[in-house]
Amino acid sequence: MGLLPERSNLCVLFLIVILSEGHFRWVEAQHCVWYGECGESEKVPGKKYNCNYTGPPLPLKPEGYDLLKELCPGYDYGNRSLCCNVDQLQTLKGSLQLPLQFLSRCPACFFNLMNLFCELTCSPHQSQFMNGTKFNESNVLEVQYYIGQTFSNAMYNACKDVQAPSSNVKALSLLCGREAKDCNATNWIQYMFDINNGQTPFPIIPIFSDIPVTGYTPMNNKTYDCTEGLEDGSGPCSCQDCSKACGPKPVPPPLHPPWTILGMDAMTVIMWISYMAFLLIFIGAVLAAWCYRKRTIMSEYGPILDSNNPLSLNSDDPDHVNASCCETLGERFENALRLLFTSWGSFCVRRPSLVILGSLILVVASSGGLVFMRITTDPVELWSSPSSQARQEKDYFDSHFGPFFRTAQLIITTPLHDTFIYSPYFGGSDVPFGAILNKDILHQVLDLQLAIEGLVAPYEGKNVTLKDICLSPLAPYNDNCTILSVLNYFQNSHAVLDHSIGDDFFVYADFHSHFLYCVSAPASLNDTTLLHDPCLGTFGGPVFPWLALGGYDDTNYNNATALVITFPLNNYLNDSVRLGKALAWEKEFIRFMKNFKNPNLTIAFNSERSVEDELNRESNSDISTIVISYAIMFIYISLALGHIHSFRRVMVDSKISLGIAGILIVLSSVAASLGIFSYVGIPLTLIVIEVIPFLVLAVGVDNIFIIVQTYQRDERMPHEELDQQIGRILGDVAPSIFLSSFSETVAFFLGALSNMPAVRTFSLFAGLAVFIDFLLQISCFVSLLGLDARRQEGNRPDIICCVKLPEGQEMKTDGFLFRFFKKVYAPFILKEWVRPIIVAVFVGILSFSIAVVNKVEIGLDQKLSMPDDSYVLEYFKNISKYLHTGAPVYFVVEDGLNYSTLEGQNLVCGGVGCNNDSLVQQVYTASLISNYTTIAYTPSSWLDDYFDWVKPQSTCCRYYNSTGTFCNASVVNSSCVHCRPMTPSGKQRPVGDDFMQFLPMFLSDNPNIKCGKGGHAAYATAVDLYPNNTGVGATYFMTYHTILQESPDFIDALKMARILADNISQSMDHKVFAYSVFYVFYEQYLTIVYDTALNLSMSLAAIFVVTTVLLGFELWSAVVVSITIAMILVNMFGVMWLWDISLNAVSLVNLVMSCGISVEFCSHIVRAFSISMKKDRVERAEEALAHMGSSVFSGITLTKFGGILILALSKSQIFQVFYFRMFLAIVLLGATHGLIFLPVLLSYIGPSVNRAKVFAAKQRYAGTERERLLNY
């Protein structure tokens, strides 16, 4: 029993202890941990420690009421008893300026963040969740802060999506000390409380828990989700800053599946079936016709009654012929042309001096325009029509914001493969670094960069340096050049690169840690390592790692294998002097880089002028190739024109001088064409210079061969003078020459309707050159032929015609080629068993070509435009291999939108209260599916940054009370006051006059450590203000395309950007367009298929109409010509697919040219067929092929073949692909179709003989030597 009272006393004592401990903790909860500010911080200069104080909260002095209401409105009640004084509130405001500027876009995020800091700094219940662990006299040196895990997660979740518009990155990338993707609730709060961030004067150790820990109850205040509005009326965060507010992520539409039949390409299957069906029908028809002929027994009167025989006698009146109206009209038209050309030919031979002199005067007068000749090498002028959408948008952009800057760029790799591992001193996993990021390599690269900065170029007696021409966004306050280089993380300084903190045993921080911090927060002015070096470039802007590094995977920039250094230079629209300075410096830059040698560095480089320079150099280097090509053709023509009968008469029968004269006539026609258009002011292009002589030589030489070889095969009639003979010959062949030349001229002039400058210019010059060539050939050349014939008849040797050789017997024989065509070739291909094989083969080739037409690639690989030995080629290859971002793209809002109204602002902005389909919001949404839209990042938005900058809570927007002029945030002056009052209306967006009052200040404000939102660096050129700052004109919002490597990527990027811009325009009801520097070059490919079809169709239609008329209204002949030329064109596409030739302006020019040259291959033979008077189609085709085939073969095919083969030796890849390959295909396809397929086609479905023409010929030659030939 005695023990019981004792045991009872112990229980009571234990209960008292428990109760007293709870009472003491409850009493302690009403106490502070600190109050006021005391000594200077040893670790962070300019910051102070808080004073150690464990008493109760004290009432705030009245002068701090406004500040408390601004920062911590939750404590603005009662007597405002707090654990902080006015000084601490001032420090808190200063420390939170950067988070305020970047996170206040999302009210819920910023409210939660302020809650965290207000509870820490001022809470009257501090000791419930704070524990002071280190003290020094009156200073608090370290505290523990118990934070609820739920609170910290909610705060992070509300802030994780908030954007930093000027940087195209998430705000946490700038505020978390690492990339946003690596940031989480824990390491973000740890970073904000870390003494190394430059803002925290003493360590604050966060401890995360949702349950009490060692007697402390974690701070777990109410938080707001980013989808929620605040009690003060602030709305929920925008979709751009809060992914939960966006709804489901957009899903790109599925790719169109390829068109297949039974798992195979549909076009291939269709053409295969079509070809098989054709073969069955065709072979059946051929066999049926053969059997029919075998069974039919012809009567002995068959030949007399054969209506196909043009000379049949079953006519009532031998002096009349039963011809149709069309046949009679055709005969009369043909006769008129024959009489005209006969008279003209006779005149030219009789009056050679007059004709030659007249021709010479006209050619010289026309060629005089070459004095005014301008050659366009500007790629924009070459590829983009002034009336095109892209060109007009480029002009609009240039006139409102200045032209897109010029660039000089280096892509640097190293042959070394020494990767190395960096182990952070303060823990964390090991980080591998690529060899290019070795410090010794970086020093060598910095030496190179500084040497380039120091380059001096002479220009008009003055020296030009980089600073004279470079882009300096903060000038005149900061005239440092923008250099997008990883060395700018180290302020372009060897000393900063070598900066390290450590002792004799360990390195705590060096260039590794600084690099890793800067790639995650490139706009930081103070890294979180012990170095405290800035990351912001010396020019006042951030260097984004995706612009300065290459060859890394994902965002592991430490794995980079290439450094990219970009020097943006100012560009000038109408200032030739300043543009000249830029060009002079770029020239010096190229010279320096060509001579630079370093065994540890492999450098690919490029400047704005490089492509144009290389195109000019290419043109000059190709001159030798072109000259050799033409020389071979000249030699061949000079030798082939002569018809040598015997070795003794070799000099008499040769026609070297006539051949040279013919070539000079061809070149004169080209010069005259160039001259006439130069008078008018139309500039030449390289395509014109390189292609037109080749084209006109093909057309012109063919005509020369036809005239000369017809003369050589002709026999002069009795009592016929030379001029009459040549006149008669010209009357026979000139209509055919006129037909082909006029068809080509009309076809080319119709091609000039194209929107593509390169195609239009080529078509104009080519059409005129072909027509002038025709005029000179039927005048000047005919006179020269007459003179040469007299020389030959006078037995005078060629060239040295003043010497007269002894008379010798002249034997008239046919040439070898003519005999071969007449005796061997023509009979063989028109054999009964050969013709079906030829048709089957050619239709098979056609079917294959149709099947692959839609598979020809569109575009022009820019690498092809450079010579084989060009330094730019290596640069293009490295761009594809290493670069990780595409070109900048600007969404331009045209003049006329009222930004001073809430409605106008909501159409564009991306923050709180903005429309869900605003411009910024739509571009942001597009960036979420960048693989489809090619938009890589959220756009930079001057409007959203302006709203953050002008907020009264921020220190950014201030002005001098006395003068009203802008006061920068870094200025300490009592007369600087906030732009807007700390009232509910003052916290709203500026509208009306307020909007325009402060916008010019924002656009002139340079970012600094107290205000990172200054708009001068990022937006100075993005807003076109009206005169006297009365309003906002055109503006742009910039983002980037994804990586674009091949032509289809660029075409797709342009297409998708335009679709997006059109959608934005519709939702805003205001014109918005997308602009990037490459759009003017790739716009042509959006319509190139249509343009190609239109150009070639118009050319074919023109050929059809002209052929119909000039063949004497023989419609079916024109159809046959058109079918054959269409087959050649379709087969050209088959060759393009087989030989990897893409469809672009260059290949389209060649296709238009092939249309012209094909006329030469086809029209002469069809005309010869139409005027032949043999008894059936096979014999008429044989005669046409024998007489015209040899001239066409020797005139075009052989002439061109030698010249084309030389083009294969060109250094220029564009020559090898687009000229050698396409020219070879044109000649081979033209020759095979004209000399193999066309005669066979005529033998099957050629037009019936024109009875009126036959009757007229019979009447004309009655009683002459030619009557015997006719009857034969």
φ/ψ of residue 1095, rounded to 5: -60, -50
Which helix (H) or strand (E) is 881 found in, with range? helix 871-882
- DSSP 8-state code for residue 463: E
449 has pLDDT over 70: yes
Residue whose structure tokens are 């006129």:
738
- Crossing angle between the packed helical segments 1238-1245 and 1145-1171, to the nearest 10 degrees: 50
Instruction: Specify the pLDDT at position 807.
Output: 60
Residue type, 638: S
Tell me whether strands 375-376 and 1032-1040 are parallel, antiparallel or unpaired: unpaired
Low-confidence winner among 58-72, 180-194, 383-397, 739-753 (lowest mean pLDDT):
739-753
User: 808: pLDDT confidence band, cut at 50, 70 and 90?
Assistant: low
Confidence of residue 380 (pLDDT cuts 50, 70, 90): confident
Candidates 793, 661, 830; CA nearest to 1184 is 830
Is there a cis peptide before residue 476, judged by omega within 30 degrees of 0?
yes
Tokens representing residue 661 in the block = 């004269």
Contact 656, 639 (CB under 8 A): yes
- Beta strands, E only, 553-625: 562-569, 602-607
Strands 501-502 and 507-509: antiparallel
1220-1253 as b/e: b if 16+ CB within 10 A:
bbbbbbbbbbbbbbbbbbbbbbbbbebbebbbbb
Residue 1034 has pLDDT above 70, yes or no: yes
Long-range contacts of 119-123 (CB under 8 A, 24+ apart): 119/219, 119/221, 120/145, 120/204, 121/72, 121/83, 121/84, 121/88, 121/89, 121/92, 122/68, 122/72, 122/75, 122/82, 122/83, 122/84, 122/88, 122/89, 122/92, 123/75, 123/82, 123/83, 123/219
Cα torsion 277, 281, 287, 290: sign:
negative
Q: Which of 196-205, 315-324, 1139-1148, 1245-1254 has the highest mean pLDDT?
A: 1139-1148
Report CA-CA distances (Å) from 966 to 594, 600, 971, 975, 1057. Answer: 48, 50, 10, 11, 38
Q: What is the pLDDT of residues 56-83, one digit of tens each?
A: 999 999 999 988 988 898 888 888 899 9
Residue 300: predicted pLDDT:
41
Environment class of 423 (CB within 10 Å of its CB; exposed 0-12, middle 13-18, buried 19+): exposed
Q: What's the whole-model pTM score?
A: 0.82
Sheet with 888-893: strands ordered across = 1023-1025, 1032-1040, 888-893, 1072-1075
- The SS3 of residue 51 is strand
Which of 138-152, 350-364, 960-974, 1258-1272 has the weakest average pLDDT? 1258-1272
- Distance separating alpha carbons of residues 1255 and 1272, to the nearest angstrom: 15
pLDDT > 50? residue 23: no
More confident residue, 438 or 812: 438
CA atoms within 13 A on the CB side of 1265: 7
Burial of 235 from C-beta contacts in 10 A (0-12 / 13-18 / 19+): middle
H/E stretch holding 888 reads strand 888-893
How many Cβ atoms are within 10 Å of 38's Cβ, its own excluded?
A: 17
1261 pLDDT band, cuts 50/70/90, is low
Q: How far is it, in rounded angstroms, from Cα 646 to Cα 626?
A: 34
Pair 1079, 1054: CB distance under 8 Å: yes
Categorise residue 195: left if φ over 0, alpha if ψ from -120 to 50, beta otherwise: alpha
Tens digit of each residue's pLDDT (9 = 90 or more) over 117-165:
999 999 999 999 999 999 988 899 999 999 999 999 999 999 998 888 7
Most confident of the ranges 480-489, 566-575, 1137-1146: 480-489
Dihedral (Cα; 396, 398, 399, 401), 10-degree rounding? 110
DSSP, collapsed to helix, strand or coil, labels residue 604 as strand
Q: How far apart are CA 1086 and CA 837, in angstroms?
A: 41
- CA dihedral (234, 235, 241, 242) in degrees, to 10, reads 130
Place of tokens 């820990």: 213
> Pairing between strand 420-422 and 684-685?
unpaired
Q: How much is the CA Rg of the chain, to the nearest whole Å?
A: 43
Q: Whose structure tokens read 């093909």?
A: 698
Distance, CA of 100 to CA of 110 (rounded, Å) = 7
β-strand pairing of 406-413 with 562-569: antiparallel
Identify any residues that bridge with 586 across adjacent strands, giving them in sequence order: none
What is the Cα–Cα distance from 34 to 23, expressed in whole angstroms?
21
**Residue 832 near residue 1181 (C-beta atoms within 8 A):** no
pLDDT in tens, 1130-1143: 999 999 999 989 99
pLDDT in tens, 830-877: 888 899 999 999 999 999 999 999 999 998 887 777 877 889 989 988
Q: Are 471 and 569 in contact (CB under 8 A)?
A: yes
Does the pLDDT at position 889 exceed 80? Answer: yes
Contact 1117, 1100 (CB under 8 A): no
Question: What average pLDDT does the segment 945-957 reach?
Answer: 88
Q: Read off the amino acid at residue 221.
A: N
The vertex-345 CA angle with 340 and 346, nearest 5°, equals 105
Cβ atoms within 10 Å of 832's Cβ, excluding its own: 12
Give the ranges where 528-597 is alpha helix by DSSP (H): 545-548, 576-595
Distance, CA of 847 to CA of 825 (rounded, Å): 27
Residue in this structure with the two tokens 């690269």, named with its chain if needed: 445
**Which is nearest to 523 in space by CA: 507, 510, 540?**
540
- Compute CA distances 1219 → 671, 693, 863, 1252, whole Å: 21, 13, 16, 45
Tell me phi and psi for residue 362, to 5 degrees: -65, -40
Q: Find the DSSP H helices in 714-825.
A: 722-751, 757-776, 782-793, 816-820
Widest CA span in the chain: 171
Q: How many CA atoms lie within 13 A of 865 on its CB side?
A: 22
Q: What percent of the chain has pLDDT over 90?
A: 36
DSSP 1037-1065: EEEEB----SHHHHHHHHHHHHHHHHHHH
Please identify which residue in the block is written with the tokens 């036959």: 1254
The dihedral region occupied by 393, where left means phi > 0, alpha psi between -120 and 50, and beta the remainder, is: alpha
Whether the Cβ atoms of residue 557 and residue 535 lie closer than 8 Å to each other: no
C-alpha count within 13 angstroms, C-beta hemisphere, residue 730:
28
| pLDDT for residue 797 | 77
* Contact predicate 122/34, CB 8 Å: no
Please provide the average confidence, as pLDDT, over all residues in the chain.
84
